[in-house]
Amino acid sequence: MMPELGKYAVSVMSAYGVTVVLLVGIVAQSLWRAARVRRALEAQEQRTGAHNG
């Protein structure tokens, strides 16, 4: 299944590796911050009795 990459295997795999790490990183950071801010807003709205429509 794995394609034969020959003498460029390290270059191709490292390019894909860097890309996956950076993309997973930005997706994870976006979701983590989204969850953190949503929880904080819900707690604040409960405290103050405000609602976010």
Partner 1 sequence: MSIWEYANPKKFMQTSAWALPWFTGLAAITLVTGLVWGFFFTPEAANFGTTVKIIYIHVPSAMMAINIWVMMLVTSLIWLIRRHHVSALAAKAAAPVGLVMTLIALFTGAIWGQPMWGTWWEWDPRLTSFLILGLFYLGYIALWQAIDNPDTAADLTGVLCLVGSVFALLSRYAVNFWNQGLHQGASLSVDKQENVSDVYWYPLLFCIAGFILLFIVLVLVRTRTEVRSRRLKALEARERLA
Instruction: Please report, for residues 32, 38, 50, the alpha-carbon distance to residue 45 in angstroms, rounded to integers and kept in the order given.
Output: 20, 10, 5
Cβ-based neighbours of 5, under 8 Å, separated by 6 or more: 12, 13
- Does the footprint of partner 1 cover residue 51 (CB under 8 A)? no
Binding letters toward partner 1, positions 13-32, x by CB under 8 A: -xxx-xx--xx-xxx-xxx-
Contact positions vs partner 1 (CB under 8 A): 1, 3-9, 11-12, 14-16, 18-19, 22-23, 25-27, 29-31, 33-34, 37-38, 40-41, 44-45, 47-48, 50, 52-53
